Amino acid sequence: MNILFWVCTGLTAAGLTIFLLQIIAVRKMLTPPQEEPSCGANFPPISVLKPLKGIDDNLYDNLDSFCRQSYPAYEVIFSLQDHNDPAYKLACKIKEKYPDREIRIVIEPYTRGMNPKVNNLIPAYQASRYDIILISDSNVLVGPDYLRSIGRHLSDPSVGLVTNLIRGTGARTLGSLFENLHLNSFIVGSVCFLDRYLRMPCVIGKSMLMRKKDLEAIGGLESVKNVLAEDFIIGREVHRSGKRVVVSGYLINNVNQYWGLSRFLNRHTRWAKLRWKIGGARYVSEILTNAVFISCLPLLVAGPSTATVALACAAASVKAAGDRHLGIRTGTVMRAPAYLLAPLKDILIGLLWFVPLLSDRVAWRGNRYRIDRDSRLAPAPENGLWSLPYRIADAIRERSV
């Protein structure tokens, strides 16, 4: 017990130290630069690619925000697989609302890849008119100065890709609250920490601005059509090609309002599996720096005592307070009591960490895959013990229709 307690105490202290460095990195990233290069920057036309599937939370306002950009010239392309997608009608309403904007709707059932998002993007990319593209998810809400803020970075020819920090907003359910707590602490903290201290740019697919020639130089979208973490791989390959990857401090909103807890668990199980397949041994660092989870292990193994309870409570308090600070710093609209759930979220994430060690199968957008190295996807067989929960869920869903 004594050995376990002191090992966990040391790891907890180390994890909280890393968390403090993440907070410092976020503060530095969000500090406006002394110079403002946008004054004399050139703003070339941009093709905004918006892959759509289904009705995301706040979808109409999300799409509308991209049509009100204070930017000289840009087009917005909504891309869908078929006319029956419920997002199609909303896309049509947006197009009708802005008749003077360059807005197009591309519908093409492209199915040559295993990544459904990339399948949706390729027809939009082929239809785009401009030499610079922006890939942005449908659950993103931005301000009117978004394109102008990030577009200025490409005036530097050494920059190959620009991505953004994100913050989760709008939670009205427990699943959405957990998702936003994770985005506003682990995700934003890790991105800033890796970029600031380790010089490892981490690209988030919610916002990727790049030149077509730089994307084509690494194989284009076709090269990632069978990859789950297409955003990370694109960023990594652009970086390897000798181009800089810039993480913009301009925060964009990832709107999550009505997520169920099962959706949260499924998403982060999938993300854990892709990080394991990409990071390998480095994946271990995630569990070792999860201070709240580690601090609870002595309490679980040896039972409650003054020492074990004090360790768990101290870690939970520091983490909740730090998450609250990050929320204020990033301008996240979240009530203070919500941060009391941050330690519970960290415990759930800690439990999910072990899943990739037991299974390499994922279910995503109605498809089932096996994840290989670098998050490459392969078809998963419909039979076998692993698929039993999904087949049961399908049967229940069919009976309820």
pLDDT tens digit string along 169-208? 999 999 999 999 999 999 999 999 999 999 888 898 999 9
Task: Say how many Å lie between the first and final Cα of the chain, rounded.
Answer: 53
pLDDT at position 367 is 78
> How many Cα atoms within 13 Å fall on the side-chain side of residue 124?
27
Q: How many CB atoms lie within 10 A of CB 301?
A: 12
Q: pLDDT category, 57, cuts 50, 70, 90?
A: very high
Percent of the chain at pLDDT exceeding 70: 92
Residues contacting 14, CB < 8 A, separation 6+:
288, 289
Q: Determine how β-strand 140-141 pairs with β-strand 244-255.
A: antiparallel
Does 398 score more than 50 pLDDT? no
Q: pLDDT category, 387, cuts 50, 70, 90?
A: low
Distance CA 272, CA 278 (A): 10
Distances from the Cα of 38 to the Cαs of 33, 145, 154, 252, 285, in angstroms? 11, 11, 11, 19, 38
pLDDT tens digit string along 8-55? 999 999 999 999 999 999 999 986 654 444 444 578 999 999 999 999
Coil/strand/helix, residue 235: helix
pLDDT at position 379 is 87
Q: pLDDT category, 333, cuts 50, 70, 90?
A: confident
pLDDT at position 352 is 96
pLDDT tens digit string along 87-96? 999 999 999 9
Better-predicted residue by pLDDT, 238 or 398: 238
Contact indicator for 77, 106 with CB cutoff of 8 Å: yes
Residue 72 gets the label, from left (phi > 0), alpha (psi -120 to 50) or beta, of alpha
Q: pLDDT category, 158, cuts 50, 70, 90?
A: very high
pLDDT at position 384 is 56
Q: Which amino acid would we find at residue 14?
A: A
- Model's pTM, two decimal places? 0.90
